Amino acid sequence: MAHRPPILLIDSPSLYFRAYFGIPESAARAEDGTPVNAVRGFLDMLATLIRTRRPDRMVCALDHDWRPEWRVALLPSYKAHRLAPEGGEVVPDTLTPQVPVILDVLAAIGITTTGAAGYEADDVLGTLSVTQPAPVEVVSGDRDLFQLVDDDRPVRLLYVGRGVAKLEACDDAAVRTRYGVPANRYADFAALRGDPSDGLPGVPGVGEKTAARLIERYGDLAGILTALDDPRSGFAPGLRAKLAGARDYLAVAPKVVRVALDVPLPDLPTALPSAPVDPEGLLDLARRWNLAGSTRRLVDALAEHP
């Protein structure tokens, strides 16, 4: 059987935040002076991904709820440091108006976007990763998505921590090399280690190396907690005390970290178009927002894909 091209599942917030901070506003403005740095950078990233990964399908996932209440109910500190005084996420004033422009351009091209009430983009990506025909490549700079890696399907994470031009195509071996745990144990590992960027405190005094050693020895967090109740399990007294003191946190943290795989999503058109579905609309957007170069690069990449 011939190898099928992958579907690219795009973590849109991860990429447009990266684009916003990676390109100065002064370098990308519409004629009226409105910054379009996030739009331009995001479109250029998609063009690079299409040209280098040669997918035949694509879906851009959206955050319809960046801080779901069900996660906050389990762990009130979840993303609390990113909460604006008036509610909602702290987002740069000049980024917010650029997101609708990105969505308008994607619609004119014919690239599917989707989100779900009560869920983050991560959850949408997780659900698509197990429901869409493989091979699957998830594109993100979010470490939590290492847990989606699955060699059997296969599902890979194209990690853009150093930018799209230097993305890392991560399989299970890459996750093990980076963190010392298999991908399917990453959520437990992250719960133990913590993640300040998400307001996940972790177990005080347990860093990456200790978390990896614990998972290697006991298999998963459930195994660690079972062993904690066994006085013969060989925990050093200090480590036993740290884990015991964090038992309530450890009972809920993995549920917060784990990406949902069962988000209710409609049937989605995933085929990547070879040309814009609304060329006149795209041309109008390119003129209005000074995006001629970026839209041309994306359209050229589409024309070249299989």
Let me know whether 273 and 298 are in one domain.
Answer: yes
Which residue segment(s) compose the domain that 246 sits in? 185-257
Instruction: Write the CATH number for 121.
Output: 3.40.50.1010
Let me know whether 79 and 12 are in one domain.
Answer: yes
Let me know whether 14 and 130 are in one domain.
Answer: yes
Q: Sheet holding 112-114: strands in order across?
A: 112-114, 57-61, 7-11, 136-140, 155-159, 168-170
Q: Is residue 1 part of a domain?
A: no
pTM: 0.94
Crossing angle for the helix pair 12-22 and 37-53, nearest 10 degrees? 120
Number of neighbours of residue 163 by Cβ within 10 angstroms: 12
pLDDT value at residue 237: 86
Q: Is residue 107 part of a domain?
A: yes
Let me know whether 227 and 168 are in one domain.
Answer: no
pLDDT value at residue 98: 97
pLDDT value at residue 2: 54
Element (H, E) at 123: helix 121-131
Domain count, the chain: 2
Let me know whether 78 and 225 are in one domain.
Answer: no
Q: Is residue 2 part of a domain?
A: no
Q: Is residue 220 part of a domain?
A: yes
Let me know whether 132 and 85 are in one domain.
Answer: yes
Let me know whether 88 and 190 are in one domain.
Answer: no
Cα-Cα-Cα-Cα dihedral of 251, 252, 254, 255, to 10°? 130
Let me know whether 114 and 66 are in one domain.
Answer: yes
Let me know whether 156 and 279 are in one domain.
Answer: yes
Instruction: Write the CATH number for 240.
Output: 1.10.150.20
Let me know whether 190 and 177 are in one domain.
Answer: no
Let me know whether 165 and 267 are in one domain.
Answer: yes
Let me know whether 98 and 214 are in one domain.
Answer: no
Q: Is residue 156 part of a domain?
A: yes
User: What does each of the 306 residues of the chain score in pLDDT, given as a tens digit?
Assistant: 458 899 999 999 999 999 999 999 999 999 999 999 999 999 999 999 999 999 999 999 999 999 999 999 999 999 998 988 887 888 999 999 999 999 999 999 999 999 999 999 999 999 999 999 999 999 999 999 999 999 999 999 999 988 888 899 999 999 999 999 999 999 999 999 999 889 999 999 999 999 999 999 999 999 999 998 888 777 888 999 999 999 999 999 999 999 999 999 999 999 999 999 999 999 999 999 999 999 999 999 999 866
CA angle, 125 as apex, 121 and 128 as ends, to 5°?
140
Contacts of 186 (CB under 8 A, 6+ apart): 144, 146, 147, 175, 179
pLDDT value at residue 305: 67
pLDDT value at residue 233: 76
pLDDT value at residue 1: 41
Q: Is residue 282 part of a domain?
A: yes
Radius of gyration of the chain (CA): 21
